[in-house]
Chain A
Amino acid sequence: MGRAMTRSEAATASHPPAIAFVGIDKRFGAVHANRDIDLEIARGSIHGLVGENGAGKSTLMSILYGFYQADRGEIRIDGRRAAIRSSADAIHAGIGMVHQQFMLVDTLSVLENVLIGAEGSFRLGPAEKHARAVLKRLADDYELAVDPDAIVGSLSVGEQQRVEILKTLYRGAEILILDEPTAVLTPAEVEHLFRILRRLQGEGKTVVVITHKLKEIKAVTDWVSVMRKGEIVATWPTADTTVEMLAEAMVGRRVLLRVEKAASVPGAVELEVDRLSIVDRRGVALLDDVSFTVRAGEIVGIAGVAGNGQSELLEAIAGIRRATRGRILVGGRDASALDPAEIRGLGVAHIPEDRHRMGLVLDFAAEENAILGYQDDPAWRRGPLLDGTKIRDAATTMFSDYDVRPPDPELRTALFSGGNQQKIIVGREIGREPRVLLVGQPTRGVDIGAIEAIHRRLIELRDRGRAILLVSAELDEIRSLSDRVLCMCAGRITGECRPEASEREIGLLMAGLGTEVGA
């Protein structure tokens, strides 16, 4: 509390803070999600909120936006106590929220999306006319130009995000909350977003950014608050902080941000992708003539904005998706026509991009997920039955090796945190000493502490002479783990570069604008 108070003294005395949380406390059953939170957010500032998964950031913002009611404490908007019981109340109080998963109707136009819930009258005409004028003004004021008649589904992710921001501004938001706004953006789009946020700030709006990307906190915020285990542990002027300092405050201990690794010693080609193409039913090429190799003992990173064919590439190699043309060779053997079980049999392990959708059966006990994909293994068989004891023993060992918490293999998987769920997958896939490991977004939504552990495991596997293909939307992750970087855009490999290449250079390749550099 002490820090928050000094900070409020620093804020202008004449203006009450735009938002003040006073003693906010919230429990979900046994989980104490927010503990006695005191936090003031100054009018006209950009305030970052960082913390590990489950630290309570989203809960706090959900209380502000009326999704949850606090058990205790109050919220003051502009110094006045606000009773926010629903998102309608929040909107009325001038609060707008841009969710991580956009709340847009893909088949409607931008204008229609902006109008949803604010149609005003039975006839749409007057509202549309009004909205069109307002959108034009907002576009000019804030660099928020989007064609009002474009169908939202046809827009890029960055443009869709702008529509979300427009929606909140159209409803008169003075306070904007953005939840993980950069997760799906290209570096250029991130820059654009930051320009918009500064413009909004310039107009006196207050912006709260929830993120786990500490570099972005440094880049755009004025103030930063760190949450840990439901508490605000620090609030600092961003200029006084370093990334290391923030990471330490988040985790509660010193964190190794740089990945320590020796130079790679590439061996024989273990995975070869030869002119692979996937054309979907509409005739759109999801993968277009993709060729590359991954050698034993190296990590090849694929950089690219999500949705440019990386998912399809991983799924094609894993046998989940059938390629239209081209070949996949594993250890020199043609694996193009094999099914997922056969490809696993060749020694290809796969940490899928979306652990909830693909990597785990959330309703299963954790120990059951620890054998997912390897349920055929004779080691688990006892007569016609599965050997429950053996499976539990193996899971217990793996949980302790990979520090899965809680170390309870019988617990339902959905009850583990994201980071621990990911450790279960990583342990399962790496534990098999695969010849080739396919890795998609290994640390998405994973705590800093777990990220460190997962990165270390990947490097160790590489050093044992395994071939690793890494897909990640985190450019930093690609650059720190990979020995070679391939950039993908619109289903094509747009270039290869060294991991030391500048962010700008990789960014250009990711946008499909670069010329081939390096190899």
Chain B
Amino acid sequence: MSVPHRELPAIADYVLLPLINVTVAFLVSGLVVLAIGENPIEAVKIMVFGALGYSEGIGFTLYYATDFVFTGLAVAVAFHAGLFNIGAEGQATLGGLGVALVCLAFDGAPWWLVAPFALVASALFGAAWAFLPAWAQARRGSHIVITTIMFNYLAAVLMVWLLGGPLGKPGAMSPETRTFEEATRLPLLRDLVAPFGIDLGQSPLNPTVFAAAAAAVFVWALIWKTRFGYELRAVGRNPTAAVYAGIEPGGIVIAAMLISGALAGLLAVNEVMGTQHRLLLEFTAGAGFVGIAVALMGRNHPVGVVLASLLFGMLYQGGAELAFEKPNISRDMIVVIQALVILFAGALEHMFRPALGRIFAPRGRTA
């Protein structure tokens, strides 16, 4: 005798609804652009061309997207276990520490030898940073949202201390490690594809993008094709039923957070080993928080996360171009557009659902 559910067809639920949300976000953004006296159509042209119009732009878009895929997946995995991991930022930061330690220890060794260790170290360090909040949630009931936020700050402070002291480059003005040797840095894809006549310009796109794709496939299989994923989803959707089914929710919570932290940590390979070649303060540049938006928008599905990451990659890259071309439109304006996308695709995700439901409701049929 409950109110009958109105189910949308999958195509409407997973494609049409997000598309409408993003479109509305852009329409509203257009109004904002109009309000500051610029032509929104021209702005869109610049953004899209900047992000996708030439190979260097595409390279940058994919490079940004790589970061977001890792953090988006991190948030999504935790979400399926019923956990809101706000701490991807801090976990990625610690991942950076892991990568930097490996690269500094093997400095000068060829990148292909160091890369596997760097990957493992980034995942381990990221997971380790997620462990305490996970344990506190699972065994002591401390809310994961609070503890992961606190651990973001702890990570930041830890970095300041490490880079200003033990790990800092002697005599440097800024808190950072020394730069890795050329041989130890990840190769840039631009060097690999240049012989084929593709010019990726200055884009820092590196092989980590493939690791991100692999991570998306891994997460998909883990969540929907394994027993662990089954148990993780059961805990996330109905912990009481999970206990009934002989699943220990605490163990699942800890495991899910370790995986989440590991995924966030992997971001550091892209940034530290692939792009900046040294450990900097705040090298994550907020990618951990963008991951939350990406996961929300991507409906916590790896395919959605990848698509949303690409969209955000475009926003970052196209937005940078826009800010460069149009002095009136500052970097902050880009943040506003991103915020609108998050608002409509994330927070107001279901705003157009009832309307869509009416459109898709079968007519003239009696049940």
Q: Chain B residues with Cβ under 8 A from A117's Cβ?
A: none
Q: Per-position contact with A for B355-367: 1 when CB-CB < 8 Å, else 0?
A: 0010001100111
> Is chain B's interface secondary structure helix, strand, loop, or mixed overall?
loop
Interface residues in B218-234 by Cβ distance below 8 A to A read: 221, 225-227, 230-231, 233-234
With A31-B367, A412-B7 already in contact, the answer to whether A339 and B231 are too (CB < 8 A) is no
Q: Are B366 and A29 in contact (CB under 8 A)?
A: no
* B5 interface contact, C-beta 8 A: yes
Q: Are A386 and B227 in contact (CB under 8 A)?
A: yes
With A340-B246, A359-B241, A361-B237 already in contact, the answer to whether A375 and B6 are too (CB < 8 A) is no
Contact of B241 among A57, A318, A357, A388 (CB under 8 A): A357
**By CB atoms of chain A within 10 A, which of B6, B237, B246 has the most?**
B246
Least Cβ distance of B234 to chain A in Å?
5
Q: Are A340 and B243 in contact (CB under 8 A)?
A: yes
Interface residues in B1-21 by Cβ distance below 8 A to A read: 1, 3-7
Q: Are B233 and A29 in contact (CB under 8 A)?
A: no
Interface residues in B193-245 by Cβ distance below 8 A to A read: 221, 225-227, 230-231, 233-234, 237-238, 240-245
Least Cβ distance of A240 to chain B in Å?
27
* A493 interface contact, C-beta 8 A: no
Contact of A352 among B227, B233, B244, B247 (CB under 8 A): B244
Q: Are B237 and A364 in contact (CB under 8 A)?
A: yes
Q: Chain B residues with Cβ under 8 A from A352's Cβ?
A: 244
Alpha-carbon distance between A58 and B241 when the two chains are bound, in angstroms: 28
Q: Are B238 and A361 in contact (CB under 8 A)?
A: yes
Q: A30-B362, A386-B230 are in contact. List 19 more A-B contacts (CB 8 A).
A: A29-B6, A31-B4, A32-B366, A35-B366, A340-B243, A358-B241, A362-B238, A363-B238, A364-B233, A372-B234, A372-B245, A373-B245, A375-B230, A375-B231, A375-B245, A376-B246, A380-B227, A385-B225, A415-B5
Q: Are B227 and A381 in contact (CB under 8 A)?
A: yes
Q: Chain A residues with Cβ under 8 A from B226's Cβ?
A: 384-386
Q: Are A30 and B244 in contact (CB under 8 A)?
A: no
Q: Are B230 and A350 in contact (CB under 8 A)?
A: no
Which residue of the partner chain B has the closest CB to A357?
B240
* B248 interface contact, C-beta 8 A: yes
Contact of A386 among B225, B241, B365 (CB under 8 A): B225
Q: Residues of A with Cβ closer than 8 Å to B? A: 28-33, 35, 53-54, 57-59, 318, 320, 339-342, 344, 350, 352, 357-364, 368, 372-373, 375-376, 380-381, 384-386, 388, 412, 414-415
Contact of B5 among A53, A57, A376, A414 (CB under 8 A): A414
Least Cβ distance of B115 to chain A in Å?
25
**By CB atoms of chain A within 10 A, which of B244, B361, B362 has the most?**
B244
A-B contact pairs, 10 of them (CB 8 A): A30-B365, A59-B1, A320-B244, A340-B243, A358-B244, A361-B242, A384-B226, A385-B221, A412-B7, A415-B5
Which residue of the partner chain B has the closest CB to A56?
B1
Q: Chain B residues with Cβ under 8 A from A376's Cβ?
A: 227, 246
Q: Are B367 and A30 in contact (CB under 8 A)?
A: yes
Contact of A33 among B4, B225, B362 (CB under 8 A): B4
Interface size class of B (residues with CB under 8 A): 20 to 34
Contact of B3 among A28, A357, A368, A388 (CB under 8 A): A28
Which residue of the partner chain B has the closest CB to A68?
B3
Q: Chain B residues with Cβ under 8 A from A388's Cβ?
A: 225
Alpha-carbon distance between A373 and B231 when the two chains are bound, in angstroms: 10
Q: Are A339 and B246 in contact (CB under 8 A)?
A: yes
Q: Are A360 and B241 in contact (CB under 8 A)?
A: yes
Q: Chain B residues with Cβ under 8 A from A339's Cβ?
A: 246, 248
Alpha-carbon distance between A247 and B5 when the two chains are bound, in angstroms: 28
Which residue of the partner chain B has the closest CB to A380?
B227
Alpha-carbon distance between A364 and B234 when the two chains are bound, in angstroms: 8
Alpha-carbon distance between A362 and B7 when the two chains are bound, in angstroms: 14
Q: Chain B residues with Cβ under 8 A from A350's Cβ?
A: 244
Alpha-carbon distance between A368 and B234 when the two chains are bound, in angstroms: 10
Least Cβ distance of B218 to chain A in Å?
11
Q: Chain A residues with Cβ under 8 A from B1's Cβ?
A: 53-54, 57-59
Q: Are A415 and B246 in contact (CB under 8 A)?
A: no
Q: Are A318 and B244 in contact (CB under 8 A)?
A: yes
Q: Are A29 and B4 in contact (CB under 8 A)?
A: yes
Q: Are A362 and B237 in contact (CB under 8 A)?
A: yes
Q: Are B246 and A341 in contact (CB under 8 A)?
A: yes
Q: Per-position contact with A for B1-44: 1 when CB-CB < 8 Å, else 0?
A: 10111110000000000000000000000000000000000000
Q: Chain A residues with Cβ under 8 A from B247's Cβ?
A: 341, 375
Alpha-carbon distance between A373 and B234 when the two chains are bound, in angstroms: 10
Alpha-carbon distance between A344 and B365 when the two chains are bound, in angstroms: 45
Alpha-carbon distance between A78 and B325 when the two chains are bound, in angstroms: 73
With A31-B4, A340-B243, A352-B244 already in contact, the answer to whether A361 and B367 are too (CB < 8 A) is no
Q: Are A361 and B361 in contact (CB under 8 A)?
A: no
Alpha-carbon distance between A386 and B223 when the two chains are bound, in angstroms: 11
Q: Chain A residues with Cβ under 8 A from B243's Cβ?
A: 320, 340
**By CB atoms of chain B within 10 A, which of A31, A350, A415 has the most?**
A31
Alpha-carbon distance between A462 and B146 when the two chains are bound, in angstroms: 52
Alpha-carbon distance between A385 and B222 when the two chains are bound, in angstroms: 8
**By CB atoms of chain A within 10 A, which of B5, B6, B241 has the most?**
B241
Alpha-carbon distance between A359 and B241 when the two chains are bound, in angstroms: 6
Alpha-carbon distance between A339 and B251 when the two chains are bound, in angstroms: 14
Q: Chain A residues with Cβ under 8 A from B6's Cβ?
A: 28-29
Alpha-carbon distance between A364 and B223 when the two chains are bound, in angstroms: 13
Q: Chain A residues with Cβ under 8 A from B365's Cβ?
A: 30
Q: Are A368 and B230 in contact (CB under 8 A)?
A: yes
Q: Per-position contact with A for B291-325: 1 when CB-CB < 8 Å, else 0?
A: 00000000000000000000000000000000000
Q: Are A361 and B241 in contact (CB under 8 A)?
A: yes
Alpha-carbon distance between A386 and B366 when the two chains are bound, in angstroms: 38
Q: Chain A residues with Cβ under 8 A from B245's Cβ?
A: 340, 372-373, 375
Contact of A28 among B4, B227, B231, B238 (CB under 8 A): B4
Alpha-carbon distance between A350 and B243 when the two chains are bound, in angstroms: 12
Q: Chain B residues with Cβ under 8 A from A359's Cβ?
A: 241, 244
Alpha-carbon distance between A30 and B366 when the two chains are bound, in angstroms: 7
Alpha-carbon distance between A54 and B225 when the two chains are bound, in angstroms: 34
Q: Are A344 and B246 in contact (CB under 8 A)?
A: yes
Alpha-carbon distance between A479 and B275 when the two chains are bound, in angstroms: 75
Q: Chain A residues with Cβ under 8 A from B7's Cβ?
A: 412, 415
Which residue of the partner chain B has the closest CB to A59?
B1
**By CB atoms of chain B within 10 A, which of A29, A363, A386, A412 has the most?**
A29
Least Cβ distance of B239 to chain A in Å?
10
Alpha-carbon distance between A359 and B240 when the two chains are bound, in angstroms: 9
Q: Chain B residues with Cβ under 8 A from A375's Cβ?
A: 227, 230-231, 245, 247
